[in-house]
Structure 1
Amino acid sequence: MKRLWDISPPLHTGSPVFPGDTPYRQRWAASIGPGCPVNVSELTLSPHAGAHADGPLHYAAGAPAIGNVALDAFLGPCRVVHCIDVGPLVLPEHLRHAADGLPPRVLVRTCRQAPVDRWVDDFTAFAPQTLEWLADRGVRLVGIDTASVDPAPSKTLDAHQVLLRRDLRVLENLVLDDVEEGDYELIALPLKLVQADASPVRAVLREL
Structure 2
Amino acid sequence: MSQWIDLSIAVDENIPSFNDASPFSRIIRKSVDKGDGYNESWLDIGCHSATHVDAPYHFNNNGKRIHQLDLDLLMGECYVVEIFNKSIITYNDLCGLNIPEGTKRLIIKTDNTTIGFEPKFRKDFVGLDVSAVKFFDERGILLVGTDYLAISKYDQAAAVHTAFFENNERIAVEALYLNDVFEGKYELICLPIRLKDADGAPARVVARRLDA
Global fold match (TM > 0.5)? yes
Match of 1:164 in 2: 165
* Alignment correspondent of 2:66: 66
Q: Does the CA contact (< 8 Å) of 2:79 and 2:183 recur in 1?
A: yes
The aligned residue for residue 17 of structure 2 is 17
1:147 partnered with 2:120: no
Structure 2, gaps ≥5 residues long: none
Alignment of 1:37-186 (within 5 A): 37-111=37-111, 112-118=113-119, 119-154=121-156, 157-167=158-168, 168-186=170-188
Relative to structure 1, is the Cα distance of residues 95 and 40 closer, same or farther in structure 2, using a 3 angstrom cutoff? farther
Taking the aligned partners of 1:95 and 1:43, their CA distance within structure 2 comes to 42
Equivalent residue for 1:198?
Answer: 200
Instruction: Quote how far apart the aligned CAs of 1:21 are.
Output: 2.2
Shift, 1:74, TM fit: 1.1
Alpha-carbon distance in 2 for matches of 1:83, 1:151: 15
CA distance in 2, matches of 1:31, 1:136: 54
Task: Find the aligned partners of 1:95 and 1:80 in 2 and give their Cα distance.
Answer: 15
Change (3 A) 1:40 1:179: same
Please report how far the alpha carbon of residue 102 of structure 1 lies from its aligned counterpart in structure 2 after TM superposition: 4.0
State the alpha-carbon separation in 2 of the partners of residues 127 and 95 from structure 1: 14
Is the CA contact (8 Å cut-off) linking 1:8 and 1:174 kept in structure 2? yes
What's the TM-score, normalizing by structure 2? 0.88
Q: Is the 8 A contact 2:53 2:172 kept in 1?
A: yes
Q: Shift of the alpha carbon at 1:34?
A: 7.4
Q: Which residue identity lines up with residue 110 of structure 1 in the other structure? A: T
* Higher-helix-fraction structure: 2
> Tell me, which stretches of 5 or more residues in structure 1 are unaligned?
none
Q: For 1:2 and 1:100, locate their aligned partners in 2 and report how far apart those are by CA, in whole Å.
A: 21
The separation in 1 between residues aligned to 2:50 and 2:193, in whole angstroms, is 14
Cα shift readout 1:123-159 (whole Å, capped 9, x = no counterpart): 111122222212321211011112212222346x122
Does the 8 A contact of 1:83 with 1:90 survive in 2?
no
Number of the residue aligned with 2:8? 8
